[in-house]
Amino acid sequence: MSNLAILPLIIPAISGVIVAFTNSHVKTTRLLTKLFTLVGLAVTMFVAYTVFTDGAIILETGGWIAPYGIILVADKLSILLVLTTNIIATAAVFYAPNSLTLRQETHYFYTFYFMLIAGVTGAFLTGDLFNLFVFFEVLLMASYALIVLGGDKVQLRESIKYVLINLFSSMLFVTAIALLYGAVGTINMAQIAERVAEVEQTGILTTIAVLLFFVFGTKAALFPLYYWLPRPYIVPNPVVSALFGALLTKVGIYSILRVFSLIFIHRMEITHEAFIWIAGLSMVFGVIGALSTNNIKLIISYNIIPAIGFIIMGIGIFNLDALSGSIYYLVHDMIIKSALFLLVGVIAYVAGTSDLKKMGGLIHHYPLLGWLLFIAAFILAGIPPFSGFIGKLLLLRGALSADEIAITLIALLSSLLILYSVIKIFIRGFWGEKDETKTYTKKPSLGLILPIVGLLAISVFLGIGAEFVYPSIEGIAEYLLDPQIYIDSVLKE
């Protein structure tokens, strides 16, 4: 047992309380937020190094041994996602002062930011289902505040849909946990997996599995549960949109990955086979949404949905290549989505609009923004040698080895359409003759550009440096394919 497991969670939790007391002094709050975020990143990097070197870290809080007490499990999967979360948080916190208004900053943005990071981190690290629900609620409460920060009419309108759908799914979540506890007598994920294996997943357990998938699928915005997502994610400030797009749906995906690789793996012909079809439909309908709009923020928001489809595809196929591809693509998508949301926020700021029809020739005024967008589009679509290509290559290799030809073709077509949906921002917004009738006086500051460059650099490294990254990702996939390793490490059998 080691207290290292709780450090990535406790640092943002305490930091949020501290900056609440300095809120009226904006410069002090900004400085403290950057300092605490960098400390959190450094500590998480150390914990990740320890986990990848020495194995999973299990913390049994209060001295209560598993499965009786609350436990935190920092294994390779969870700590990789916590590290990615901290990288995104660092980029966001350096971008934020250049994007937020003073009014937004003084209305406790930095406190809610830390609450969001703490909730996401806790969801990744928790070892029992009820505390997964608790951390979901922590991050959702923070997101409720962040989505309305600024008080614009459109924010309030979209927040109603966002709050209602999440309240409904949370109600179903706690109901599913109660049903599962009634069936197996525990909420510890390792012990649930052990007991489900003993009874070979009866009909009632498969029904509970489907209900949990519905809950997590709603939060992850899978087909046909994605309808709530695109517009609520674009109405807040760009830095909030980046945090939402990179993190919130990914907690839902992580929950599916964890639960359906550890607990419900005995009726794959019912559960995992359905995942493949849902993945294909998510790709198709997400791309259709991205192609149907001229709002650059909405294009990026819709592109969250096919990305979720790619990740679910690997979970459904459930072999080594496919799971490796899902994990690789999950990390890739968290990074590139945050970069794209920040980038389109800057483009909308300098252009004075989010409507592509009102843009044109921006490359003559903002060449750096144009080429950053061009690179980001190629990374997102999975063009070699970028990170998206590595994840998709593994997914397609896994699909072909499992003779899943239909989903392979859908994935390939979706990739091309994803590229077109983003590159059209470059073609219509940046390319073309210089329009002398339009004057652009707004200049993006280094504080807006550098976080985007940093995130894109990491994405590029994940592609060209795949030979260094892939062995660790493959190790995580092998670990997920043998749930007994997780069970034994938690229950110490």
Instruction: Reply yes or no on whether the pLDDT at 434 is more than 70.
Output: no
In the chain, the percentage of residues whose pLDDT exceeds 70 is 98
Instruction: Reply yes or no on whether the pLDDT at 476 is more than 90.
Output: yes
In which band, very low, low, confident or very high, does the pLDDT at 371 lie, cut at 50, 70 and 90?
A: very high
Give the pLDDT score at 358: 87
In which band, very low, low, confident or very high, does the pLDDT at 439 lie, cut at 50, 70 and 90?
A: low
Instruction: Reply yes or no on whether the pLDDT at 437 is more than 70.
Output: no
In which band, very low, low, confident or very high, does the pLDDT at 154 lie, cut at 50, 70 and 90?
A: confident
DSSP-assigned beta bridge partners for residue 128: 188
Instruction: Tell me the pLDDT of the chain averaged across its residues.
Output: 92
pLDDT in tens, 245-289: 999 999 999 999 999 999 999 888 888 889 999 999 999 999 999
pLDDT in tens, 319-370: 999 999 999 999 999 999 999 999 999 999 999 899 998 888 888 889 999 9
pLDDT mean over 228-252: 93
pLDDT mean over 76-98: 97
In which band, very low, low, confident or very high, does the pLDDT at 298 lie, cut at 50, 70 and 90?
A: very high
Query: Is the separation of the CB atoms in 394 and 319 below 8 Å?
Result: no
Give the pLDDT score at 330: 97
In which band, very low, low, confident or very high, does the pLDDT at 86 lie, cut at 50, 70 and 90?
A: very high
Instruction: Reply yes or no on whether the pLDDT at 1 is more than 60.
Output: no
Q: Considering only 30-39, 59-68, 474-483, which range has the smallest mean pLDDT?
A: 59-68
Residue linked to tokens 């614009």: 152
Instruction: Reply yes or no on whether the pLDDT at 493 is more than 60.
Output: no
Q: Considering only 177-181, 308-312, 406-410, 436-440, which range has the smallest mean pLDDT?
A: 436-440
Give the pLDDT score at 359: 87
Give the pLDDT score at 435: 62
pLDDT mean over 30-55: 97
Instruction: Reply yes or no on whether the pLDDT at 197 is more than 90.
Output: no
* 468 or 270, which is more confident: 468
Give the pLDDT score at 365: 87
In which band, very low, low, confident or very high, does the pLDDT at 477 lie, cut at 50, 70 and 90?
A: very high
DSSP-assigned beta bridge partners for residue 92: none
Give the pLDDT score at 269: 84
Give the pLDDT score at 441: 64
